[in-house]
A and B are shown apart, each in its own frame.
Chain A
Amino acid sequence: MPFPNVRLTNRPLHFIYICDCSGSMAAQGKMQALNQAIRQSLPGMVKVARDNPEARLLVRAVSFADKASWHISKPTAVEQLQWVDLQAGGITAMGEALELVATQLRSPPMEERALPPVLVLISDGQPTDDFDAGLKQLMNQMWAQKAVRLAIALGHDANMDVLQDFIGPYPQAGGQVGRSMQGVSTSARQPLQASNATALAQYIEWASTAVVGAASMPVSRTQGSASEGNIPLPDLPPTLIDPIEGIGPVVW
Chain B
Amino acid sequence: MEVDVKMTEVKSYSKLGEALAKGDFILTGELEPEKTCDLSHTIEEAKQIAPYVIAANVTDSPLGIVTINSMAATHLIQKATGLECVWQMTVRDVNKLGIAGMIMGAQALGIHNILSLTGDHTALGDMAESKPVFDLDSATLIKLVREMVDKGSINGYEIEDPPKLHVGGAANPNSEPMGPEILKIGRKAEAGCEFIQTQVVYDIDRTIEFLTGIRKYKVPILLGIFPMKSYGIAKGFDTFVPGVSVPKEILAKWKSVKKDVTDKKQKKELYDQYNYELFKPFVSELRKKNLIDGIHCMAVHYPRIFPKLKDIIGA
Partners in one complex: no
- Mark A residues whose CB is within 8 Å of B: none
